Amino acid sequence: MALQEEINKRKTFGIISHPDAGKTTLTEKLLLFGGAIQVAGAVKSNKIKRHATSDFMEIEKQRGISVATSVMAFEYRDKKINILDTPGHKDFAEDTYRTLTAVDSAIVVIDVAKSVEEQTEKLVAVCRTRQTPMIVFINKLDREGLDGFDLLDDVEQKLGMRACPLSWPIGMGKRFQGVYNLYANNIRLFSAHGKQTDDDVIEISDLSDESLNDLLGEAAADELRSDIEMVREVYPPFSKEEYEKGLLNPIFFGSAVNNFGVKEMLDCFVDIAPHPLSRETDERMVEPTEEKFSGFVFKIHANMDPKHRDRIAFMRICSGTFERNTNYFHVRQKKKMKFSNPTMFMASKKNIVDDAYPGDIVGLYDAGNFKIGDSMTEGEVLHFKGIPSFSPEQFRFVNNADPLKSKQLNKGIDQLMDEGVAQLFTKISNNRKIIGTVGALQFEVIQYRLEHEYGAKCQYESLPMHKACWIKTDNKEALAELRSRRKNNLALDKDGKLVYLAESAWTLKMAQDNHPEIEFLTSSEF
């Protein structure tokens, strides 16, 4: 098949949500539609459950599961759909941000009772900065929740979206009767744990039709009529172009666990979601249709077997055709590499692939060659943009607790940082190492993994710190002044970039006021 056809076939997206909104359940239903799994329950939630914070074995188990569910591919209506898993747990938010650089669109799941939650807000903000097209699925309509219009207000105000409802709920919770499809003008009646066949769809050409009263009851029919009138007045009509530009967000209502409203959304997704798009690099735009292969690593995962230290690097193909056993150019390391067993994931199964196309994600077995953000090409020097590193929120000094194992400790820390588990900073004044993370959980994961995978022991020392800011300036004098006046606050990140460590919001503001020629950035690109 020609490259263009392969590209047109593919849709690569991520599902984002606050934990418990129903991401895993929805993923599973999508895979069932695609025939990628046969039974419910086959997709394990990769969420780190609350009680797991101090249960290392549980963390390890979850880590294993999340390798298997990192990418799930299925076929539906002649399309190859790649779902990229995004951890909902906030301690793993950076992992999710990076994964979102590898998708072309996203589906946002919202719990009808909880409306927009914190994690959803953060993840949607990341997608919005990249103009990622997003569809919203409001889930759990079989439960009592917020009124449809209040939900859409939240979606618009808290998520900054422009809502365009494509379906509308008829009742809710115990009174939930189904959804009205605003564009096909039909009603799908709700049945718990349904199969979603077309038999339960009722065509309604005119909402004023009396038969609607018999179908839904007079009160519910009247409510639907006035709701739809209002929806049509208040919300914009659907436009594919605006959706593609990230300026309009189709909204669906349903119940994932009951497989209700999922097929409508999937069908719409298949019709409108973009196929693999071009990607920006520092050097130029890369089009998926270019003949030469290119791709970038957005995630690195330690292998499930702690005795083998090899890892899996997840690479998104951006252009051309990737082939097994072919020499490619590792841009950062300036060396050629080939892969004898690149892997693709189909639900929980792994398959070795001979070739892969733009939009596909391949897993590459790696003995320590890759860092997040690395690009592979056929020889051209390209650095893909948009794989940022954000300022950590928690900081600790890391000390060696076993002097005989300092080599192992350094190697372990280096490799865990390449995986993006946390960030390492080295203080300029005394060379002490500082680990920065988004949440407290990573400190425990690091300590555990250093011991079990590298035979090294570490101890932490608390370090009350507010933010790490990357320093940007063209003004050499201003930089020299900062270096001499703020030596104690300066550190280098893993790539040798200069970072200012601020103890508090106030000290950061002081530094900004005192050094106006310097930009203090809270995110950097890897």
* Dihedrals phi, psi of 3, to nearest 5 degrees: -55, -45
> What does the alpha-carbon distance between residue 223 and residue 229 come to, in Å, rounded to a whole number?
10
Nearer to ligand G4P, 25 or 447 (CB): 25
Question: CA-CA distances (angstroms) from residue 458 to 251, 316, 397?
Answer: 48, 34, 10
Nearer to ligand G4P, 109 or 231 (CB): 109
Nearer to ligand G4P, 140 or 449 (CB): 140
- Shortest Cβ distance from residue 97 to ligand G4P (Å)? 17
- Shortest Cβ distance from residue 492 to ligand G4P (Å)? 37
- Shortest Cβ distance from residue 25 to ligand G4P (Å)? 3
Q: Residue 384 corresponds to which tokens in the numbers above?
A: 């893909």
The site for ligand G4P (CB under 6 A) is made up of 17, 19-25, 45, 47, 88, 139-140, 142-143, 255-258
- Shortest Cβ distance from residue 142 to ligand G4P (Å)? 5
- Shortest Cβ distance from residue 17 to ligand G4P (Å)? 5
Give the sign of the dihedral formed by CA 248, CA 250, CA 256, CA 259.
Answer: negative
Nearer to ligand G4P, 20 or 244 (CB): 20
Nearest of 366, 448, 363, 434 to residue 398 by alpha carbon:
434
Nearer to ligand G4P, 45 or 447 (CB): 45
The SS3 assignment for 231 reads: helix
- Shortest Cβ distance from residue 351 to ligand G4P (Å)? 25
Q: Tokens 């209040």 identify what position?
A: 150
Q: Tokens 């589906």 identify what position?
A: 107
Nearest of 88, 66, 92 to residue 440 by alpha carbon:
92
Length of the chain: 526
Q: Are strands 10-17 and 105-111 parallel, antiparallel or unpaired?
A: parallel
- Shortest Cβ distance from residue 264 to ligand G4P (Å)? 14
Strand ordering across the sheet containing 328-330: 335-337, 328-330, 375-377, 294-302, 311-319, 361-366, 343-346, 349-352
Nearer to ligand G4P, 85 or 418 (CB): 85
> What does the alpha-carbon distance between residue 430 and residue 281 come to, in Å, rounded to a whole number?
36
Nearer to ligand G4P, 22 or 320 (CB): 22
Q: Are strands 105-111 and 201-203 parallel, antiparallel or unpaired?
A: unpaired
Nearer to ligand G4P, 119 or 377 (CB): 119
Helix, strand, coil percentages in the chain from 3-state DSSP, rounded to 5: 35, 30, 40
Nearer to ligand G4P, 28 or 374 (CB): 28
Q: Are strands 279-280 and 285-286 parallel, antiparallel or unpaired?
A: antiparallel
- Shortest Cβ distance from residue 257 to ligand G4P (Å)? 3
- Shortest Cβ distance from residue 282 to ligand G4P (Å)? 35
Computed on alpha carbons and rounded to an integer, the radius of gyration of the chain in Å comes to 25
